Amino acid sequence: MAKKLYIKTYGCQMNVYDSARMADVLAPLGYAPATAAEDADMVILNTCHIREKAAEKVFSELGRLRRLKAQKSDGGGRMILAVAGCVAQAEGAEIVARAPFVDIVLGPQTYHRLPEMVAQVARAGGQVLDTDFPAEAKFDFLPEASAPQGVSAFLSVQEGCDKFCSFCVVPYTRGAEFSRPARDIIAEARRLVALGAREITLLGQNVNAWHGEAGGGLGALLRALAEIEGLKRLRYTTSHPLDVDDGLVAAHRDLPSLMPFLHLPVQSGSDAVLRAMNRRHGADDYRGIVARLRRARPDIAFSSDFIVGFPGESARDFAATLALVREVGFAQAYSFKYSPRPGTPAASLPEQVPEAIKAERLAELQALIAAEQRAFNDGAVGSELPVLFERRGRHEGQLVGRTPYLQAVHARAPEREIGAVLKVRITAVGPNSLAGEVAAATVRR
């Protein structure tokens, strides 16, 4: 009988992708996906360490799973429990010590060794801790992605980060920057398209630092991918402003399938704060990059990440962030209170901002961002946008898709249009999506 695997994923798209690859690597051992931990013979928590409370959440989830595991073994069964991802990488030894009922603790760089770890636990019992940064590249040892991801698929092209922003754990949990070879990426993209993908989002912690073995940057890679028959849309995330080079800007100018939407975190609009964050660019550099991209692709829209209450952030610094947001006009953006991460340089800076001020600033920034997002969405009403339909909607006869700007759209269309890009006249803006009508001329009969 097939064994069941349940993976609970926290955090970023990279983790979503990694979870799918862990499922791929365990499939040959007979593990099929389960929809709940209750039904599973193996449970993996794929964790995130980027902001506070992540580790505490993991320990409380582990408490629940411990009881489940005990019930299973009382009934004569067995549950293997694994903790993966960045909390495992950063706090592996503590997990092993605090949670002896956890069988496997593994970091993001050792997923390809998971079958061995499972075998070892099954054979000998005991705990396995593997948070190495092994010399072999995990991608060379992972099986080909086998489960279809649907119309919109993710493809990891780059991992790790050498930027060392002073607030961030990624360079420690994910390790040094590593780019997968172009030929592997192109082969994986072809497979995804053969499995039904019509849109591919290239993933990396610092995706636009991707570089080919023989030179060439992300722009060149995007050009090669744009040649793939049947691949209608390309996206990439997440980018650092410093690595937006001419080749990438030219790709936005030249490639119709490269979507005019870019998530480009700036974190702050204050030069002093950006310096203390070790971002290695100023607010005007960011404005300049936005302007260059807008010249290359006039309809491009932007998204960003912001941190409020970074140590030493004054009221004036924060006002500079608000000013930058007003100037750029974001289609959407994420914002967070600064959260001191143990081991990062910013955590030991003297002028930590009081919680109440962080909360106040966050509320103000989020209100501004929400207003910009509303204005951006309102601007779509009455226009016709190409929508890639991804799946059935909640109501009968309705499909859900996305505009080039990542806005979700509900429209009536037959199910055979899943995977097609149709012109949709946007009629209304809801809280989480747009509503529209497929332009009659584009419906296939």
Give the interface with ligand SF4 as residue ranges (CB under 6 A).
161, 163-165, 168, 170-171, 205-206, 240
Residue 385 interface partner, choices ligand 5AD, ligand SF4, none, CB cut-off 5-8 Å depending on type: none
Residue 286 interface partner, choices ligand 5AD, ligand SF4, none, CB cut-off 5-8 Å depending on type: none
Question: Which residue has the closest beta carbon to ligand 5AD?
Answer: 305
CB of 205 to ligand 5AD, least distance (A): 9
3-state helix, strand, coil in the chain (%, to 5): 40, 20, 35
CA distance 281 to 194: 41
Contact yes or no for 174/160 (Cβ under 8 A): yes
Contact between 11 and ligand 5AD per CB under 6 A: no
| Residue that is written with structure tokens 């060439």 in the block | 216
Identify which range of 73-81, 148-156, 331-339, 376-384 contacts ligand 5AD by CB under 6 A: 331-339
Contact between 10 and ligand 5AD per CB under 6 A: no
Contact yes or no for 400/255 (Cβ under 8 A): no
Q: CA of 4: how far to CAs of 43, 77, 233, in Å?
A: 9, 12, 34
CB of 352 to ligand 5AD, least distance (A): 12
Within 133-172, the residues that bind ligand 5AD by CB under 6 A are 167-168
Check the CA dihedral 50-56-57-63 and report its sign: positive
Contact yes or no for 49/90 (Cβ under 8 A): yes
* Identity of the residue, 48 or 168, whose beta carbon is nearer to ligand SF4 in the bound complex: 168
- Judged on CB neighbours under 10 Å (0-12, 13-18, 19+), 309 is buried
Contact yes or no for 259/225 (Cβ under 8 A): no
Identify which range of 224-232, 244-252, 334-342, 376-384 contacts ligand 5AD by CB under 6 A: 334-342
CA distance 424 to 442: 9
CB of 170 to ligand 5AD, least distance (A): 8
Interface with ligand 5AD (CB under 6 A), residue from 61, 254, 271, 305: 305
Q: Which residues bind ligand 5AD (CB under 6 A)?
A: 50-51, 167-168, 265, 267, 305, 307, 336, 338-339, 341
